[in-house]
Amino acid sequence: MRILIVNDDGFLAAGIEALVKALIGEHELLVCAPKNNQSAVGHGITLHRTLHVEQVTLPGCTHVNAYCVDGTPADCTRVAVGNLGFEPELVISGINQAPNLGTDVLYSGTVAAAEEAAMLGYRSIAVSKDGFDTEYFDDVAKVFCEQLPLFFGLLNDEHRLLNVNFPNLPRAEYRGIRAGHLAEQCYPVKYDEVDAQDGRMELKIVSLKLTECYESDTTDEKLVRDGFISVTPLKYDITDYARLEMMKRVIEKDFRA
């Protein structure tokens, strides 16, 4: 299979290395990833400056065709298919070094790169690991590749995007695979104030998750906390169709000259 690999952690990220090593030999790969870490940049694309693309060598994967882009994850997807001439059968974004659960997907550059692929008509999967370390990346990569036929089989021309999250556990402790809907994530609103010497207010975000999960939850967050691999189908049309139909009845009118 022809697979495009993108991410938001940068082309030197451990998650890309683990994923490439697990896929190489079985698939035709192209890596196109940001030059620098682009975590939580969302679905931005670069508009007001030129992009620079470099062919690079991945650590431990010297024979893989790889490029870095000094732009966003979504830029990387567009560059790969639009300028590098790669026509993928599947786009994989990850493995991200942090979870992309619940409403985190709105901020996630990892999900955005896969979502951009879906918007361009390609089947795509965003894959992430819970926790902020690189432990168990090899386990995630191996199990993800073992289950790739299952995940790929969930995609078609109409439904092109999946979000997959692994628990921060060794593979022997995975409890299974479950389908879950997005949790509503909760973080502190207030930023930490940092002493600044020039009189300006200096703030730093607090990465402390406050999300509560109840025993009856079927959210992706709860599933991963319970040791399951969570799989969530996503779509980029965020129209609230129920409200749209109600609004049509209330607001639609014709103006005549």
Amino acid in position 212: E
Q: What is the 3-state secondary structure (H, E, C) of the chain?
A: CEEEEECCCCCCCHHHHHHHHHHECCEEEEEEEECCCCCCCCCCCCCCCCCCEEEEEECCEEEEEEEEECCCHHHHHHHHHHCCCCCCCEEEEEEEECCCCHHHHHCCHHHHHHHHHHHCCCCEEEEEECCCCCCCHHHHHHHHHHCHHHHHHCCCCCCCEEEEEECCCCHHHCCEEEECECCCCCCCCCCEEECCCCCCCEEECCCCCCCCCCCCCCEHHHHHHCCEEEEEECCCCCCCHHHHHHHHHHHCCCCCC
pLDDT band of residue 221 (cuts 50, 70, 90) is very high
Q: What is the pLDDT of residues 50-99, one digit of tens each?
A: 999 999 999 888 889 999 999 999 999 999 999 999 999 999 999 999 99
Stated pTM of the model:
0.95
Nearest CA to 230 out of 159, 169, 187, 157 is that of 169
- By DSSP bridging, strand 192-194 and strand 202-204 are antiparallel
What is the sign of the dihedral through the CA atoms of 174, 177, 178 and 180?
A: positive
- C-alpha 220, offset from chain centre: 14
Q: What is the pLDDT of residues 125-172, one digit of tens each?
A: 999 999 999 999 999 999 999 999 999 999 999 999 999 999 999 999
- Cβ–Cβ < 8 Å for 95, 135: no
**What tokens appear for 51 in the block?**
């992009």
pLDDT of residue 89: 98
Alpha carbons 46 and 63: distance in angstroms, whole number: 29
- Averaged pLDDT score across all residues of the chain: 95
pLDDT band of residue 201 (cuts 50, 70, 90) is confident
Alpha carbons 159 and 211: distance in angstroms, whole number: 29
